[in-house]
Amino acid sequence: MEDEALNIAIISDQPVRAESLSKTIENGLSNGTEIRVLTTDLIHSTGAMSSVHLILVDLMGISKSSRQIILPLKEKYSGIKIIAMHLYRSSLLVNPLFAMGIDGYIYYEPSRGELMNAIRTVTAGKKYIPNDLLSA
């Protein structure tokens, strides 16, 4: 089954990291997927999120807190799915992100397979949590 073309926004203030994520996604999904990279200063600008299906938030690559990013995104764009990425490997630290409204969580520096699995799972309307976090 071919992947549906998606519009994905990557939120990061680290251009090199964002470009690496963008290339990984482009190599893992079908043609027609549109990826835009937005800094935290641009996420609420007019049209920044038009037709976006999924937001990937690089929590290690931004200077604002997760609360300052995730809560306003969920309030303004409630229909857009959000995957957060961070170093947290404890459910005590990850669960508050889900309480804020994220739809998926992946560890920083995910493999292409893990990133694609998270994107496919979340865009199918399910939550994505790494297996070892589920058993923690």
Range of the domain at 73: 7-134
Q: Is residue 1 part of a domain?
A: no
Question: HSE of 87 in the Cβ direction (CA atoms, 13 Å)?
Answer: 2
Least confident span in 1-10, 75-84, 87-96, 104-113: 1-10
Q: Is residue 107 part of a domain?
A: yes
Antiparallel, parallel or unpaired: β 34-38 and 104-107: unpaired
Q: Is residue 118 part of a domain?
A: yes
- Locate 108 and state its tokens: 């920083």
DSSP classification of residue 59: G
pLDDT band at 3 (very low <50, low <70, confident <90, very high): low
Q: Is the pTM of this model over 0.85?
A: yes
Q: Is residue 2 part of a domain?
A: no
Q: Is residue 97 part of a domain?
A: yes
What's the CATH number where 45 sits?
3.40.50.2300
DSSP classification of residue 128: B
Q: Is residue 90 part of a domain?
A: yes
User: How many structural domains comprise the chain?
Assistant: 1
Q: Is residue 108 part of a domain?
A: yes
102 close to 71: Cβ distance less than 8 angstroms? no
